[in-house]
Amino acid sequence: MKNEFVTLNHIQTHVITYGDPFNCNGKDVIVCITGNPGIPDFYIEFADELHKSTGLPLCIIGHAGHDVVPDEASSILKGQEHLFDLDGQIKHKLQLIDSYVDKQSKLHLIGHSIGSWLILELLKDNENLTMRLKSVNLLFPTLQKMAETRNGKFLNGFLRNLHNFVLLLFVLVHLLPSVIVKFLIAIYLKVYALPSHYSEYILKFLNPNVGEKVLFLAYNEMDRVKSLNVEAINKIKHLTNVIYSKTDNWAPISYMEDLYKYQPELTMKQVDIDHAFVLKSSETTAEMVMQFIKTKL
């Protein structure tokens, strides 16, 4: 595993790689696009398992502005909003694939949550990318009517109205002595039976610059993610595996049923796994993804 910082669509970005996806002599490459928050560290266990089981070079990319990076200019939202909204995130991911991933390689794309929506948008207007595809895995995908979901209604109807207060909370937490913050995080991890090393990842999320971008993108998702991208779905119907959770407040099973009506040729599966699968079900999810990728090698 290697941590790299590359500039994508003018924003310095933390990318995690396995093998050498940027120079692998045309070997197939897996590209994993995270959900929101787009902090790639949360996907390390998932990627570890996937790289180990497939042997393929792999790259995890989060979202522009969703990580702590050395370049301070990459953390400024005001005047650069277009770099951090959904359109900016599409350009961000496209530049990674076009400018960094080995140009001779075929691709296995994985999208989690909003990462799935981004994949469909990438494919809609980029035929060259579609031609490079060997498989697509959409994990707990938020593809339509996000604002109408249970979590969407809470975010849009409550949290969004308290935006300035929430930002203030991020600042106040940031001003607390680090020993207190780490102690509080340790209690949270213990209560929810999560690994202690997640403390480092949560500290990144609690950074005010990161939290600001996470919320900014979330609001944009509420406004933009409304109808299924049927055009893109039809392009990749034979290459795509879609996994839904039976209890998902971002992507309810009824949305899976809607997707099936549009395109019954997709491979689909219902599982009893949380939407944020990376917290407790990385290995189980990686196994399902690996099995599908191997059918497309």
Radius of gyration of the chain (CA): 18
Q: What is the pLDDT of residues 10-47, one digit of tens each?
A: 999 999 999 999 999 999 999 999 999 999 999 999 99
Query: Which pLDDT value is given to residue 137?
Result: 98
Domain range 2-145+223-295, CATH class? alpha beta
> Residue 244: which of 232, 231, 258 has the closest Cα?
258
Which run of H or of E encompasses 74? none
Q: Is the pLDDT of residue 124 over 90?
A: no
pLDDT band of residue 280 (cuts 50, 70, 90) is very high
Whole-model pTM: value is 0.96
Amino acid in position 284: T
- Catalytically active residues are 113, 248, 275
Residues 6+ away with beta carbon under 8 Å from 258: 144, 228
Query: Which pLDDT value is given to residue 70?
Result: 94
Please report, in angstroms and rounded to a whole number, the separation of the first and last CA atoms in the chain: 23
Q: What is the pLDDT of residues 211-234, one digit of tens each?
A: 999 999 999 999 999 999 999 999
Query: Which pLDDT value is given to residue 168?
Result: 97
Strands 58-61 and 11-18: antiparallel
Which run of H or of E encompasses 226? none
**Residue ranges per structural domain of the chain:** 2-145+223-295
Write out the E strands in the chain. 2-8, 11-18, 29-33, 58-61, 107-112, 133-139, 240-245, 267-271
Q: Are the C-beta atoms of 226 and 250 separated by less than 8 Å?
A: no
Per-chain mean pLDDT for the chain: 96
Query: Which pLDDT value is given to residue 55?
Result: 96
Query: Which pLDDT value is given to residue 282?
Result: 97
Q: Output the CA–CA distances (angstroms, integers) from residue 295 to 26, 143, 227, 274, in the order listed.
A: 19, 25, 30, 25
Average pLDDT for 289-293: 98
Q: What is the pLDDT of residues 129-176, one digit of tens each?
A: 999 999 999 999 999 999 999 999 999 999 999 999 999 999 999 999
Query: Which pLDDT value is given to residue 125?
Result: 82
Average pLDDT for 188-201: 94
